[in-house]
A and B are shown apart, each in its own frame.
Chain A
Amino acid sequence: MKKEDALFSAHAILAALRASIRLLRWGMLALVLIYLGSGITVVGPEDSGLILRFGKLLPAVHPPGLLLALPPPFDEVIRVPSRRVQEVSLDAWSPAPDEPADLPALHPARNPYTLTGDANILRARFSARYQISDPAAYAFGAADRDALRDSILYETACRTLAGMPVDDALTTRREYIGRETMRLAQEAFDRLGLGVRILAFETREINPPAQVLPAFQDVISAKVEARTLVEPANARRASEIPAAESEAYRIRQTAGADARELVAKAQGEAFSFLALLKEYRANPEVIHARLYSEMIETVLPKVRVSAVLPSSKGNVRILLAPQKWDSSQSDEPPAQEPPAMPAPSQNHYDPAVKKGPVDD
């Protein structure tokens, strides 16, 4: 009985071992299949895939999608984010948050800065955007590529700033700093074969040191003050020059009108004269008498004293009419003058027109 039991147990163990070996075989087969499939990988949407076969780079650059490679150690897949626009912040020349603003001096290592063309001190923060233009060069170009990239950007910014005065750097040529730094940096990246294309270089902050900031702000105030002085003068000019032009136009137009009036009047009078002349030539006596009489009719009512002297006698006699007192000319009535009698004279009197008081 015991012998039968032992045989039964041995068979059972043998069967279990066989089953385990079969399971192990299947497991081994599965592992082999997994290993063979381990070279199959996915390249992400912003990446490019590179394959190193036995350590040597294959020339093909694989776009996003499924990448079929051999399992290690035959192939090694390297993903490079060639489609991603990357940004780096360059803050080394800006003051640290805990740096006191009233430092009497700046240490070249602890308080980094750079110099401008006129040997002034500037502190700045930049940012750069770039993209990988050559995945293979980027992946295998440099050992410490981030530090190298940043150092090249600082170096080219330093060269750019070393050729311009501080005022230009702070105001008008900030765009130029970006453009020139980008150009110089791209040249360096291409020369070193880093496989990077710079898309933008921006000056985020650029300032003189805090120690001299009030002096710079005073210059800005002075510029504003200068504009404050100039603007009213410009406003006055903008107002007064058009007014003067308007006045000049008016003077010219008035002169033109006066001239036309003068000529028109001359033409009218000439026409009138010629018309009168025509009639005068036809009836000179009548016209003459009429004109003369009209003049007398117009003139004589105005005169205050008039006299008519007979001319046929030897003695001159002047008949004076009493003057009327004109209250509008004087407060006091004129002294009553006695009627004057003409003094005997032997001189012949010529009719004349006299103005003013009449002497006897």
Chain B
Amino acid sequence: MKMLSRLCVAAVVLIILLCCMAAFQVRQNEMAVLTLFGKPVRVIREPGLYGKWPWPIETVNRLDARLNFYEIRLSEALTRDKRNIVAPVFVVWRIDDPLKFLEAMGGIESAQGKLDSLVSSAKNSVFGRYDFGQLVSVNPAEVKIAEIERAIAENAAPQAKTSFGIRIEQVALKRLALPEVNTTYVFERMRAERAQFAERYRAEGRRMADQINAQTDSEKTVLLAEAKKDAEETRGKAEAEAAHIYAAAHGQYPELYTFLRGLEALKKIIDANTTLVLDANAPPFDLLKSAAPQSSPPPPR
């Protein structure tokens, strides 16, 4: 009995050892190429548990199945309108054909070196087809950065796939810069632009202030003129109405009105500097005489 149990334990240990040597896992983020004495015999793209002949018969070469990121070395490029631009580019790629990748590259580090020259060449080629104004413009519709990025990726992708077993997922410009020597001139231009803007703002301020003052004066004048016009109209209408009222009343006996107006006029005209020479027969001086008053009012109508 004891012997049997010892044999069981030994069998379990042996099985575990065999599993360790003849089974392997491919993780979710991996692909694998199995080589038999160095010759690739099987490509495994799906994660899981697999079996193989123990080492050194078969060897597992693991490759990263995830997206890889690589920043291309900084270099200048020339646009179609002969402007130098420095545009750091990064490329996002993944292994598309593990066997080809293993044969052509051997590993990630080697792949990045080859991608560098491939994408740099594509970048220079594509930049030569676009103007500087299509990289930077105050009109966003004229900026073709996304299109340029797609063009670089499309330019580099076929060779990357056929030669290296790599699929380029994205190429992107990390930023835009100018050659070092050009920045001095850019600074001078920026200073000149700012000086121009500053003067424009000051002139604009003066112009706006003058406009506001002139508008204020104009509106004031118009307001008062309109008010005076309305006032004159109101007074004119009132005078017309008054004249109508007077005419309606005085027209009933114009002679009496003339007589009354005459009396009023005399009261207003005569003052201390007036000399009157009157007929003694005129009332009331006629009362000084014995004769009766000769004037009489006009007969009533």
Q: Give me the interface of A with B, judged by CB distance under 8 Å.
A: 52, 54-57, 73, 76, 93, 104-109, 112-121, 139-144, 147-148, 151-152, 154-155, 158-159, 162-167, 188, 191-192, 194, 208-209, 211-212, 215-216, 218-219, 221-223, 225-230, 232-234, 236-237, 240-241, 244-245, 247-249, 251-252, 254-256, 258-260, 262-263, 265-267, 269-271, 273-274, 276-277, 280-282, 284-285, 287-289, 291-296, 298-300, 302-311, 318, 326, 349-358
Contact of A192 with B170 in the complex, beta carbons under 8 Å: yes
Contact of A219 with B276 in the complex, beta carbons under 8 Å: no
Contact of A148 with B67 in the complex, beta carbons under 8 Å: yes
Contact of B297 with A354 in the complex, beta carbons under 8 Å: no
Hey, which chain A residues are within 8 Å of B145, CB to CB? 158-159, 162
Q: Given A119-B186, A274-B252: A358 and B27 within 8 A (CB)? A: no
Q: Does B138 contact A (CB under 8 A)?
A: yes
Within the assembled complex, what's the spacing in Å between the Cα atoms of A116 and B176? 9
Q: Given A215-B194, A303-B274: A255 and B175 within 8 A (CB)? A: no
Secondary structure dominating the interface of A: helix
Give the interface segment out of B33-41, B96-104, B113-121, B195-203.
B195-203
Apart from A108-B177, A117-B138, 15 more pairs, CB < 8 Å: A106-B183, A208-B190, A215-B190, A219-B201, A222-B202, A229-B205, A230-B208, A240-B220, A249-B227, A274-B252, A284-B298, A284-B299, A299-B270, A308-B288, A351-B282
Contact of A154 with B184 in the complex, beta carbons under 8 Å: no
Q: Does B8 contact A (CB under 8 A)?
A: no
Residue pairs across A and B with Cβ atoms less than 8 A apart, 11 shown, are A57-B47, A112-B177, A114-B175, A166-B190, A209-B187, A229-B205, A236-B212, A245-B223, A259-B237, A266-B246, A276-B260
Among candidates A163, A252, A281, residue contacting B300 with C-beta atoms closer than 8 Å: A281
Contact of A108 with B180 in the complex, beta carbons under 8 Å: yes
Within the assembled complex, what's the spacing in Å between the Cα atoms of A314 and B133? 119
Categorize the interface residue count of chain B.
Answer: 35 or more
Within the assembled complex, what's the spacing in Å between the Cα atoms of A241 and B219? 7
Contact of B174 with A164 in the complex, beta carbons under 8 Å: no
Q: Give me the interface of B with A, judged by CB distance under 8 Å.
A: 25-30, 46-49, 64-69, 71, 74, 86, 88, 90, 92, 132, 135-140, 143, 145-146, 169-170, 172-181, 183-184, 186-187, 190-191, 193-195, 197-202, 204-206, 208-210, 212-213, 215-216, 219-220, 223-224, 226-228, 230-232, 234-235, 237-239, 241-243, 245-246, 248-250, 252-253, 256-257, 259-260, 263, 266-267, 269-285, 288, 293, 295-301
